Structure 1
Amino acid sequence: MVSGTNGTITRTVSVSVNIGDFGIAASPTSLSISIGASGTSTLTLASINGFSGAVNISAQVTPASLTAGLSPSNPSTSLAPSTVNLQPQSTGSSTLTVSASLLTTPGTYTVTITATSGTVSHTTQVPVTVTVAGLI
């Protein structure tokens, strides 16, 4: 509420401010891939409260637990596109592709996806299990 007074006359007006924001979600929320293969997850970005702007997306892989003396070879990631332009009350999407080369160490990894626009940043995580084909 904002009020103004001039002598004996007072006027009051209500003011509401909507702060634009965006959200991010992954589907599926986890992946299981074999060595030498790849998997995808669709990242959906949604405008909240009239947000409009370019959202830059990046992905970082956290390695599986280390075994003594071994250093894991992480799966690789790509994003297409890596920038999504959102309009008010709209959604946009990007495809996360996770690939396990023949040198990738089997195990569970975490891919952290960060979506940033200006000073606003949101993250989501996609656990990725890398297996050897034919082994349970």
Structure 2
Amino acid sequence: MCNTKNIKLTEIIVEVICFLYALLFIYAATSKLNGFQQFKDQLDQSTLLVGYGHWAAWLVPLSELVLAILLLMRPFRLFALYGSLILMALFSAYIIVVLNYSDHIPCSCGGVISSMGWETHLVFNICWMGLALIGIVLMTKKKSTYKDTVQ
């Protein structure tokens, strides 16, 4: 009985994490696509993305939308959480490199997120990475717990 309650609570927590991530990615992607030219221009200004700004301008929101869809589909959630963790880690690495090695720091974020300072944005990303890790651990633990109870 207690095991069933733990599994149910785990499912609810994972559902909430995936839903919040999906909302974040849908919001971020639509903000970037709505202001696509500005987003692309800002990426083109980045010294890290010289020659790749156009590709990144399409790849980032597309990745966010694909991950949002996968996060809402139960069979793909673990994969999508790993993808979300990797994407947020890449965003965080970009911020760290830009803060430490770039003379010009263009903001290529969309919507409300663009009003954050770079340090705040880094903390924001790290918190989201923590949520992805929690979801991954809970899903992995749930799978092993389920296997143990079935055997």
TM-score by length of 2: 0.23
What TM-score results when the alignment is normalised by the length of structure 1?
0.25
Instruction: Kindly indicate which of the two structures has a greater share of residues assigned to helix.
Output: 2
Task: Report which of the two has the higher share of strand.
Answer: 1
